[in-house]
Amino acid sequence: MYNIKVGEGSCGISAGAAKIYSLLEKSNTDNIFGLSVTGCIGMCFLEPIVDIYNNDELCARLVQVKESDVEYILQFIATGDESAIKNLKISDDDSEFLSKQTRIALRNCGIIDPEDINDYISHGGYSALSKVIESLTPEQVIDEIKISGLAGRGGAGFPTWFKWNAARQSDGEEKYLICNADEGDPGAFMDRAVIESDPHALIEGMLIGAYAIGAKEAVVYVRAEYPLAIARLEKAIEQAKEKGYVGNNILGSDFSCSFRIKAGAGAFVCGEETALIESLEGQRGMPRLKPPFPAQSGYWGKPSNINNVETFANVTWIISNGGEAFAALGTEDSKGTKVFALTGKIRRGGLVEIPMGKTLNDVIFDIGDGMRTERAFKGVQLGGPSGGCIPANLADTQVDYKKLSATGAIMGSGGMVVMDESTCMVGMAKFFLDFTTKESCGKCVPCRIGTRRLLEILDRICKGEGKEGDIELLEELCIQIKDGSLCGLGQTAPNPVLTTLKYFRDEYEAHIKEKRCPAGECIDLISYNVLPEKCIGCLMCQKKCPVGAISGKVKEVQTIDHDKCIKCGRCKDVCRFGAVEIR
């Protein structure tokens, strides 16, 4: 019997997967085939994706499926004739996107039905929890995590075992385990995809963590902008309760742990663990002074441990396969695998999980298949607003906490925004700084006011109003903000500015000294002009100009009125002869 799985992560649904599922469901009144949903497999560039299994074996992966393609799928199911779906099958080249990855945190994503606990169990789910409860002490669990070398995947890369051990050894019977699912980096969607696609992996990993530190309550702090993730997690928790994996006397043992979800308002600063705790307690999300650390005094003043979704998603695999197996992947300083959200000017955008030690070139060109434009690769922003920009000439840098830090960037939670030559690096730094300025909680002066002053300078430079001394002032302010800010938001906010100054200083100088944007992106520093030798007077640009800024007769060279021109670029887009240039 054929079983059809429709990829219904947020990306798949937005591309039309839910409509395809509905059509298949309506056509299956006699239950001729099995039909279920699955989460995001990571190939966002090919959504909607429909997988067809012959019993338990994948026999066809169909990509970019449209509603009109459902009839061909049904024809294949009825006849077994593969020619019906030949044009829908994934290409060998695109298949390499997955085959070149090593999947641990994403092992079940796009494979299992996230709304069916039995599907998770059939893939080995909850066996690690059973192993822990039946044969391991909390100290042995922590030792296994220590052997694995698992570091927090939320950005800081702090040893997971150390945090667990600190909470374990803290005095008091009342302890809390918290998952930070407040994924706020622009361009990052790793945690969302894991919760939407494999919620039980998070629950099981958290249960093991709760057992290790002695917590009886687990809380998932997830941003309210993730409604599908929340809905599937709620359903998964209820299913786990019914099966005896969550609640009192789990699997007949003395271990008890309850679960609840807290939907956050989406403040970026709540990615910082003490600000998250403040929000959990009903206060405004603002960081606390440390020490004391959450392991000693966290949620309601009780010992608490906080890790992010990807960290917990690795825990179950480590317990099942052994810490040494995880440590065998990666480098001496960075063990295991890391998930990245690959976005920007990349041909194959989506979720990528690779062993630490692979290079940025491996991710961008081998897995991501390089630029989707004809322009050359220019750089990659790694780690979101808290990270930094790594230029093309350093793309052979290994994905390793220390090696990436040496460039001025950070691993961060895993956002990877790829840029080509059309990206203005001053404008890019301004974009991320605008984000962190707006997201500052305002508690400390260096972050509240310092980031605002940085943004004002960058804004002037992009408008062609930069002046001598601005670069030096930017550098001075960046250091003061990093040194004086209370939490990680302010301490890392200057990173995009510092790295672009380090690697693309010439672009800053061109903006300031020549009043020119080399990338042709800053609106105030560019103008659109018609090249007489290429213009044939077809009037296409004149017809498409939204403000009537282009004039000229048929078969004559057109003229652009710069006083009227709003620099929308429409004329350049529609010209088939390359007669419009940006200066």
Helix (H) or strand (E) holding 52: strand 49-54
Please give the backbone phi and psi of residue 13, each rounded to the nearest 5 degrees, phi first: -65, -45
Nearest Cα neighbor of 180 from 170, 195, 168 is 195
Note the pLDDT of residue 529. Answer: 93
Q: Give the C-alpha separation, 583 to 566, whole Å.
A: 14
- Are 377 and 312 found together in one domain? no
- Are 313 and 231 found together in one domain? yes
Half-sphere exposure of 79 (CA within 13 A, CB side): 11
The segment with the largest mean pLDDT, out of 210-214, 371-375, 517-521, is 210-214
- Are 7 and 92 found together in one domain? yes
Domain boundary among 41, 68, 99: 99
Percentage of the chain lying above the pLDDT 70 cut: 100
- Are 348 and 429 found together in one domain? no
Residue 106 confidence class, pLDDT cut points 50, 70, 90: very high
- How far from each other are the two terminal CA atoms of the chain, in whole angstroms? 62
Q: Give the C-alpha separation, 329 to 338, whole Å.
A: 10
Identify whether 188 is part of a domain.
yes
Distances (CA, A) of 187 to 19, 64, 364, 384, 393: 26, 22, 15, 7, 23
Q: Give the C-alpha separation, 316 to 129, whole Å.
A: 8
Entry field: residues in the chain: 583
Nearest Cα neighbor of 165 from 214, 126, 128 is 214
Q: Give the C-alpha separation, 566 to 522, whole Å.
A: 13
Domain boundary among 457, 482, 513: 513
Identify whether 351 is part of a domain.
yes
Domain boundary among 402, 420, 438: 420
The type of residue at 283 is Q
Average confidence score pLDDT of the chain: 95
Note the pLDDT of residue 228. Answer: 97
Does 56 have pLDDT greater than 90? no
Mean pLDDT of 268-287: 94
Note the pLDDT of residue 260. Answer: 96
Does 571 have pLDDT greater than 80? yes
Nearest Cα neighbor of 64 from 84, 86, 92, 90 is 90
Q: CATH number for the domain including 490? A: 1.20.1440.230
- Are 347 and 321 found together in one domain? no
Residue 374 confidence class, pLDDT cut points 50, 70, 90: confident
- HEC secondary structure over 464-530: CCCCCCHHHHHHHHHHHHHHHCCCHHHHHCCHHHHHHHHHCHHHHHHHHHCCCCCCCCCHHHCCEEE
Does 509 have pLDDT greater than 80? yes
Q: CATH number for the domain including 387? A: 3.10.20.600
Q: Are β-strands 528-530 and 550-551 bridged in parallel, bridged antiparallel, or unpaired?
A: unpaired
Note the pLDDT of residue 177. Answer: 98
Residue 266 confidence class, pLDDT cut points 50, 70, 90: confident
pLDDT digits (tens, 9 = 90+) for 406-418: 999 988 888 899 9
Residue 265 confidence class, pLDDT cut points 50, 70, 90: confident
- Are 17 and 129 found together in one domain? no
Say which residues have a Cβ less than 8 Å from residue 419's Cβ, sequence separation at least 6. 344, 345, 377, 378, 379, 380, 381, 389, 425, 428
Nearest Cα neighbor of 355 from 80, 151, 102 is 102
Identify whether 520 is part of a domain.
no
CB 29, CB 35: distance < 8 Å: no
- Are 166 and 297 found together in one domain? yes
Q: CATH number for the domain including 65? A: 3.40.30.10
Domain of residue 54 covers: 2-99
- Are 390 and 457 found together in one domain? no
pLDDT digits (tens, 9 = 90+) for 387-434: 999 999 999 999 999 999 999 998 888 889 999 999 999 999 999 999
Nearest Cα neighbor of 203 from 232, 162, 183, 165 is 232
Higher pLDDT, 185 or 180: 180
- Are 568 and 490 found together in one domain? no
Mean pLDDT of 114-138: 97
pLDDT digits (tens, 9 = 90+) for 469-489: 999 999 999 999 999 999 999
Identify whether 538 is part of a domain.
yes
Note the pLDDT of residue 411. Answer: 87
Mean pLDDT of 54-79: 95
Percentage of the chain lying above the pLDDT 90 cut: 92
Mean pLDDT of 186-200: 94
Identify whether 112 is part of a domain.
no
Number of structural domains (the chain) is: 5
Does 74 have pLDDT greater than 90? yes
Note the pLDDT of residue 489. Answer: 92
Q: CATH number for the domain including 566? A: 3.30.70.20
- Are 342 and 397 found together in one domain? yes
Note the pLDDT of residue 226. Answer: 95
Q: Are β-strands 337-344 and 377-382 bridged in parallel, bridged antiparallel, or unpaired?
A: unpaired
Q: Is 244 left (phi over 0), alpha (psi -120 to 50) or beta?
A: left
pLDDT digits (tens, 9 = 90+) for 146-171: 999 999 887 778 899 999 999 999 99
Half-sphere exposure of 472 (CA within 13 A, CB side): 3
| 3-state class percentages of the chain: helix first, strand second, coil last, to nearest 5 | 45, 15, 40
Does 373 have pLDDT greater than 90? no
- Are 429 and 408 found together in one domain? no
Q: CATH number for the domain including 196? A: 3.40.50.11540
Does 272 have pLDDT greater than 80? yes
Identify whether 106 is part of a domain.
no
- Are 153 and 298 found together in one domain? yes
Identify whether 482 is part of a domain.
yes
Identify whether 108 is part of a domain.
no
